[in-house]
Amino acid sequence: MTTIRVHPRLSPALLAGIVVVGLTLIPLGYVVWETATMGPGQLHDLLWRPRVGELLGNTLKLLVTVVALTVVLGVAGAILVVRTNLGAPMLWHALLSAPLAVPAFVNSYGWVSLTSQVQSYWGAVLVVSLSYFPLVYLPVVASLATLDAAPEEVARSLGRGRARAFAGAALPRLLPGILGGALLVGLHVLAEFGALQLLGYPTFTTAIYGQYRSAFASNAGTVLSGVLVTLCILLLLVELLARGRRRYDRVGRSAGRPPEPFRLGAWRPVAWAALLGLTALSLGVPGYSLVHWLLVGSSTEFPIGDLSTALVSTLSLAAAGAVLTVLMALPLAWLAVRRRTTVSTALERAGYIANALPGIVVALALITVSIRVVPSLYQTLPVLLLAYAILFLPRALVSVRSSLEQAPPVLEDVSRSLGQSAWATLRRVTLPLVAPGIGAGAALVFLAISTELTATLLLSPIGTTTLATEFWSNSSSVRYGAAAPYALLLVLAAIPATVMLSLHARPGRASAAEIPRRMELAA
């Protein structure tokens, strides 16, 4: 029997939740407020100019092609690894997940430092797709691995051939995974700054950065931010519509038999060659480039002092940011799990709004708001940490929420009935149950912050250098050798999250509907 809990009063958790959501809404609120108060004439002039059209065209062209290409690469790779007799599936799985460990801007550096040929539309499509196709590959692998053979066998018993049976009975069940992955790729493309800047392909993010560098917090930059955020929100809506009723159609963990693998026959060497080629492009090129520049760089001097300073401040920032982010996620997750009301649902949803906020927009908004409203905080650590918390709150929320679900209230009731006070119950029951999930969430945010570039670039306080900012200052002034050690450390920092994701997507570990959410954790 379900018990309805009604809490009409403003609880501390609700209050904290409202504060957190208030903070996360600062960037969006800033963009909306600024554009709304700009005056229609100026807004029109800044919005309705060929430059915006050009950027919109560039951005959309890149978005569509990259999403299409990553879907093709991700789905084909997943089918080959999971559903065929390709051989060495674990090896290929590792190789096809591994590009996530190379941050897109490091991958671009790898390519650009070898050939300027990639500084073009198709170059940008290639490099960005190579960075992001695992975002589609992983959820599709997870879906495929949990699929039961039965529907396909039924389809075949009804007279379909193997391929048609797969297309008719299995493919539709992969759609949630594909859509989720495609959405993630889309949002990443819209928010990508570092890679596109290095690739010399102008989109909204690079233009906003250009505006910031030329004119600080200008209205032109705000208008571009507004357009970019609108694009992100539209993309989320498109995905929501496309999923439609399928949202609830979860592909469950099945205890059933896996389907028989497709026999590749003579195509097997072709498949190997194709996957080898993909791996060579996605890992080989940046890997080669990194090693090359490491060797070149070490022939001059190895800045061990600068390197360790940057490393220590990166780790400290990441730790502090992770703690803050998890603390902010706690009240929202608590309300969503334990106090389900319209208000708490709305608060939790609002926590995910950062999914639609590129780092550059968050950074720009926080700079302007802090300088105008709380000047004492301007150029200080708390603002940078807040930016991290806003950007990575969704990742923390997913983990913290699911960890709270591990601790149903009935366990607390039992503990109370056994004579334990509220505090003792928290210490002996709730905390031990939720700590692993919260720890994992904190770890994911930690790793995400260590490889964050855009917000760090704009918000890092005086004298603070991080791996990402040092990498950036070197690679953007064509000091490729000097950038290499930082690139290496950034790759190392991204490896744990990649391994975690790669393992999560193995058979039976998680349902397909969970995977896209998990992907947000690390990518």
Partner 1 sequence: MSAVTLSGISKSYGAQRVLDSVDLHVPDGSLTAVLGPSGCGKTTLLRIVAGFVRSEAGTVSLGDRVVESPGTALAAEKRGVGYVPQEGALFPHLDVAANILYGLPRGRRSKTRLAELLDLAELPHDVARRSPHELSGGQQQRVALARALAPAPRVILLDEPFSSLDAGLRVSAGRAVRRVLRHAGATALLVTHDQGEALSLADQVAVMRAGRVVQVDSPTALYAHPVDPETATFIGGATVVSGQVRGGVALTSLGDLTVRAEDGPARVLVRPEQVRLVELAEAGVHGTVTEVSFYGAQVVVHLDLADGTPVTARGSSAHTPESGEKVGLLVEGAVVAYPESSQ
Partner 2 sequence: MSFRLIRALVAAALALPLLAACGGGGKDSVVVYNAQHEELIDAVAKAFTKKTGIKVELRNASDLELANQLVTEGKRSPADVFLTENSPAMALVQSKGLFDTLDAATLDRIPAAFRPADGSWVGFAARSTVLVYNKDQVKQSDLPASLMDLAKPAWKGKVSFSPTGADFQAIVAGVLALKGEAATKAWLEGLKANGKTYDGNNVVLKSVNNGDVATGIVYHYYWYRDQEEAGDNSDDSALHFFGKQDPGAFLSVSGAGVLKNGKHQADARTFVDYLTSEAGQKIIADSYALEYTLNPAVQLGRSVPPLASLQAPPVGISDLDSQKVIELMQDANLL
Helix, strand, or coil here: 314?
helix
Piece of the chain touching partner 1 by CB under 8 A; list 3-11, 131-139, 258-266, 476-484: 3-11
Phi then psi for 398, rounded to 5 degrees? -55, -50
Per-residue binding string, partner 2, 324-343, x by CB under 8 A, is: x-------------------
Q: Is 312 in the site for partner 2 (CB under 8 A)?
A: yes
The DSSP code sequence of 153-214 is HHHHHTT--HHHHIIIIIHHHHHHHHHHHHHHHHHHHHH--HHHHHTT---HHHHHHHHHHH
- Angstrom distances, CA of residue 424 to CA of 11, 366, 406, 416, 430: 21, 40, 18, 9, 9
Of 396, 390, 393, 359, nearest in space to 190 by CA: 359
Contact between 388 and 324 (Cβ < 8 Å) = yes
Q: Which residues from 430-469 bind partner 1, rule CB under 8 A?
A: 432-433
The CB-of-378 to partner 2 minimum distance in angstroms stands at 7
For residue 153, what are the contacts with CB-CB under 8 A and spacing of at least 6? 165, 259
**How many binding residues for partner 1 (CB under 8 A)?**
21
Binding partner of residue 308 among partner 2, partner 1, none, CB under 5 to 8 Å per kind?
A: none
- The smaller minimum CB distance to partner 1, of residues 3 and 37, is found at 3
Q: Is 255 in the site for partner 1 (CB under 8 A)?
A: no
- The smaller minimum CB distance to partner 1, of residues 97 and 415, is found at 415
The CB-of-215 to partner 2 minimum distance in angstroms stands at 5
Contact between 474 and 61 (Cβ < 8 Å) = no
Alpha helices, DSSP H, located in 203-303: 204-215, 219-243, 268-279, 285-300
Q: Which residues from 132-171 bind partner 2, rule CB under 8 A?
A: none
Q: How far, in Å, CA of 468 to CA of 343, rounded?
A: 38
The CB-of-6 to partner 1 minimum distance in angstroms stands at 6
Task: Indicate the helix (H) or strand (E) that contains 87.
Answer: none
Q: How far, in Å, CA of 209 to CA of 55, rounded?
A: 13
Which residue in 42, 214, 298, 345 binds partner 2 (CB under 8 A)? 214
Piece of the chain touching partner 1 by CB under 8 A; list 177-185, 262-270, 287-295, 416-424: 416-424
Q: Is 211 in the site for partner 2 (CB under 8 A)?
A: yes
Phi then psi for 88, rounded to 5 degrees? 50, 50
Per-residue binding string, partner 2, 371-390, x by CB under 8 A, is: x---xx-xx-x---------
Q: Is 52 in the site for partner 1 (CB under 8 A)?
A: no
Binding partner of residue 6 among partner 2, partner 1, none, CB under 5 to 8 Å per kind?
A: partner 1
Contact between 210 and 216 (Cβ < 8 Å) = no
Contact residues toward partner 1 (CB under 8 A) are 1, 3-4, 6, 406, 408, 410-411, 413-421, 428-429, 432-433
Contact residues toward partner 2 (CB under 8 A) are 49-51, 54, 116, 119, 197-198, 200, 202, 206-207, 209-218, 220, 309, 312-313, 315-317, 319-320, 322-324, 371, 375-376, 378-379, 381, 435-436, 438-440, 442-443, 446, 461-464, 473, 476-478
